[in-house]
Amino acid sequence: MLVVRLPASSEAVEPPQAPEAAPKRLNGRRTFSRSSTVGSEACKALSPPPVLERSKLAYEVPTPSALPSYARESDDSERDLGLLYKSLWEARRIAVVCGAGVSVSPPANIPDFRSATGLFARLKERFPNAGLTSGKDLFDARLFQSETSTALFYAMMAEFKDMADAAQPTLFHHWLKRLDMDGRLQRVYTQNIDGLEAKAGLTLGVGSPEALASRTKRKRAGRAWQRSQSDSAALPTAHEAPYPQPQPLFPRAIPLHGGLSTLSCMLCAHTQSLDTERDAGAREALDTLRRGDPVWCARCETADELRTSAGLRSRGIGRMKLNVVLYHGENDTAEHVGACVERDLLGLHDPHEPEVCPIERAMPTLPVVAEGQDDVGDLSMSSGDVQADDALASAFEEEKPVLCTPVVDKPRRRRPMPPDLLIVAGTSLKVPGTKRIVREFSKACHARDAGKKQAPVRVVYMNYDFPSAASEWAGVFDLWIQGDVQRAALGLCAPWPHRPHADPAMEAFVAQHSWQALSVPRPPPASTLRLVSRKLSTAPRRAGKPRAPARRTPPLGPAPGLPYSIMFAVRSMFRAGSRAAVPFRTFATSSSRLANTLLFVEHKKGAINPATLSALTAAQKLGGEIHALVAGSPSEAKSVAEAAAKVSGITKVLVSSSDAFSAQLAEPIAPLIQSLVDSQSYTHVVAGHTAVGRDVMPRAAVLLDSAQVSDIISVEGEDTFVRPIYAGNALATVKSSDKVKVITVRGTAFDAASAEGGSASTEDVDAGEAPTPTKFVEEKVSESSRPDLATASRVVSGGRALKSAEGFAKYIEPLADKLNAAVGASRAAVDAGYADNALQVGQTGKIVAPELYMAIGISGAIQHLAGMKDSKTIVAINKDPEAPIFQVADLGLVADLYEAVPEMTEKL
């Protein structure tokens, strides 16, 4: 990955503010110019609260972050940016993922969240007595459990709504609109909730996948209308619809985290607009939120009055909530967003077109000079595009009516076009869902260049800082532009020929600027460029009439490197009344294209083992969907599957119930894993590094002909992992070349995934009848009221210095009870019979990482240190000052344990 740094500049790049444009008629409708100032005088009078105002310090260039190990700083900015210019010129399907960094600059001035001057830090300063560990607590769905935090959330979101209403789009938003006008913007996935994409002229929302089902009916109705018209019929006027128009499946901009435009009832799901310009009820609701009071659902109130008057029982009145996605909360639009991402990755076309262009979107027309010509000619992609270009250009002329484009009798079938350029801007990539979208789009973009020695720039990251945990982004980005996002957008949009912007002030501003912070020459003038298959070329061309460039054909067969199997095939279709076959391209996808990882869910007595939740966190770093396998007895499998479906990060739960799985023995479970991997084409099988995981995964690896990777503590890539060796004294980076990676994960090395917030589907799986020579007889477990050793936050361990089991009971157990801690033991104490084998801590026992670990009478053998060295705080008590345990201890006490421990217990 190349890195290009933009030098710091004290000037803020801010587009000019144009006065509100007068309304004009467009296609028979009264509308406003797309770049007019959005907001009434009442909204302009709203001044943003001081707590939410962006500090001047936030505009200073942050300290450049260290480059990832796989990145290198550009030694030739002109050359590398020239590659970016070339890729931008050639791109026909540009996908954009943006975050808060695109809205922090003037004239938006929307605060970001995670920076030192961001919203989280300021909220904590503003409410010091609210008990907030971070401002992030006010974006957690659990805040509704407290009336105080709920009132703070309402007031804070009302202030944020005021700021969003007063904000105006930045240069980056105008650049997105320019790409959309050129017909090259595939989709914008935004993490912002301010709605500035809509103010810039992009359609904003999540769409409705249900429209897919009705699209075929609309097509049939439109074609029936065409057949009913005679050939000599006059063309429809601007006030008449030529035939039933298909509605957009998905808008151009998709909000990943919701928005501030609507309220929805938490009881009946009724929605209410928050358009304060046109709706008096919206202004009243916003005033209620500003006071910290809840807004009650009007529909529920009406229904409750009717039920009460009829003598029926009241069902209550629901609260209205802002449609903003919170941490640990449900995302009601997740299914719609997932459907849109899937269609974009496959390259399926959308009937969403500009209002003035009822047929397909017009592609950009680039200037072309043929040999022997003096002037720049206009080379259109096809004759149909000329009509579309004329319609689109006439839409922005002053007071000129626009006639609908004539209906095409035989619309051209458009082949799938996956994205060819991904731009990620202004986001720290902390949210798992956004990270997955970026990875999948990066795979789709890079799949276009599989097998090429010199690939163009396909994925660009624009931000001041690179995402944390940079190792997981190896191979994802091709170019990192480090600097201000607005300056980067200005530099990208200034040199290129484009359709005139609706705002003359914005057009003049862009025309006067180049890439301000970087002395990079513009690309060669348009008169020296020639378009061949939409690629730059300076090769001579024979004089004569320009011909349309040849269309690029997708390869036959599965494209290597694609994120899921897409098989292109050439088929034939005979139309009625036609003698010849009309070839067209279609595609088929496997049903498991997104199913990459199979997670084995370990459970006991109906509860999921915490080690499984840690393994899920590791599995999320691999990318792709995660399917969970629940294998258990018929009495437990259903309840465990319901709990697994609620875990955040799991997309599907596979349930297999059989009495053979009641004890979770490896012999029946390993063949089940093999059959699922063979049928669903999983690339990874993940489980916790527990006694059950260490029993099941090696057998499954043998059946899958794979080498198991055990006890990993870090994920460096889809095939690269880090695991400890030599009793934890060294770390090995292991790269697996197996088709299926079988992995066990150390639970203490990864944070546990949230057990709430998910909404996975469930599917029953045939258990089969794998013969097994092993039969479960009974399990003897010592009952204890103390916390479980593997998951306890405090652990008190004793060694052989206690001399007897009575010593454990007299010195270790009372101290553990006072601290509400679990009891552990070294291997020497277990072998001597002082403690039970289940209490052993070490390489051959349990590996723990509590907040507090007390080692009493333990010398610190290397095997014991391997099982507890990741503890947050280690306290050691030993009378030998040279004991190895003091080398890893945070606090050490050289004393006789028979005197120090009773005194410590008495003082607690």
pLDDT tens readout for residues 776-822: 777 776 666 788 888 888 999 999 999 899 999 999 999 999 999 99
| Rounded-to-integer distance, Cα 123 and Cα 155, Å | 12
Among 713, 748, 764, where does a domain finish? 764
Q: Provide the residue range defining the domain that includes 897.
A: 794-907
Asked if 446 is an active-site residue, the reply is no
Model pLDDT, residue 425: 92
Establish if 780 belongs to a structural domain.
no
Residues 756 and 802 in one domain: no
Percent of the chain surpassing pLDDT 90: 17
Residues 105 and 253 in one domain: yes
Among 520, 538, 556, where does a domain finish? 538
Residues 523 and 623 in one domain: no
CA distances from 809 to 13, 790, 814, 823, 859 (A): 71, 20, 7, 10, 20
Q: Are strands 421-425 and 459-463 parallel, antiparallel or unpaired?
A: parallel
Residue in 174, 257, 501, 603 annotated catalytic: 257
| Rounded-to-integer distance, Cα 627 and Cα 592, Å | 11
Residues 467 and 410 in one domain: yes
Establish if 46 belongs to a structural domain.
no
| Rounded-to-integer distance, Cα 307 and Cα 296, Å | 17
CB 190 within 8 A of CB 251: no
Model pLDDT, residue 577: 33
Residues 757 and 808 in one domain: no
Model pLDDT, residue 616: 92
265 is in an annotated binding site: yes
Residues 354 and 393 in one domain: yes
Establish if 307 belongs to a structural domain.
no
CATH of the domain at 710: 3.40.50.620
CATH of the domain at 846: 3.40.50.1220
CA distances from 527 to 377, 521, 849 (A): 9, 16, 66
Residues 718 and 825 in one domain: no
357 is in an annotated binding site: yes
Residues of the chain with pLDDT under 50: 10, 18-63, 209, 215-216, 219, 230-245, 352-411, 495-503, 509-595
404 is in an annotated binding site: no
Model pLDDT, residue 139: 77
Residues 82 and 198 in one domain: yes
Establish if 123 belongs to a structural domain.
no
Establish if 812 belongs to a structural domain.
yes
| Rounded-to-integer distance, Cα 893 and Cα 597, Å | 47
The total number of residues written for the chain in this structure: 908
| Rounded-to-integer distance, Cα 370 and Cα 378, Å | 11
CB 27 within 8 A of CB 238: yes
Establish if 159 belongs to a structural domain.
no
Establish if 139 belongs to a structural domain.
no
Query: How does pLDDT run across 328-383, given as a tens digit for each residue?
Result: 777 778 888 888 898 889 888 765 444 333 333 333 433 433 334 444 333 333 33
CB 877 within 8 A of CB 856: yes
Residues 349 and 462 in one domain: yes
Residues 253 and 205 in one domain: yes
Cis peptide before 504 (omega within 30 of 0): no
Model pLDDT, residue 164: 87
Residues 669 and 748 in one domain: yes
Residues 95 and 171 in one domain: yes
Establish if 859 belongs to a structural domain.
yes
Among 521, 538, 555, where does a domain finish? 538
340 is in an annotated binding site: no
Among 743, 536, 758, 481, smallest CA distance to 645 is for: 758
Domains: count for the chain = 3
Query: How does pLDDT run across 382-425, given as a tens digit for each residue?
Result: 333 444 444 444 444 444 443 344 444 444 556 788 899 999 99
Model pLDDT, residue 521: 37
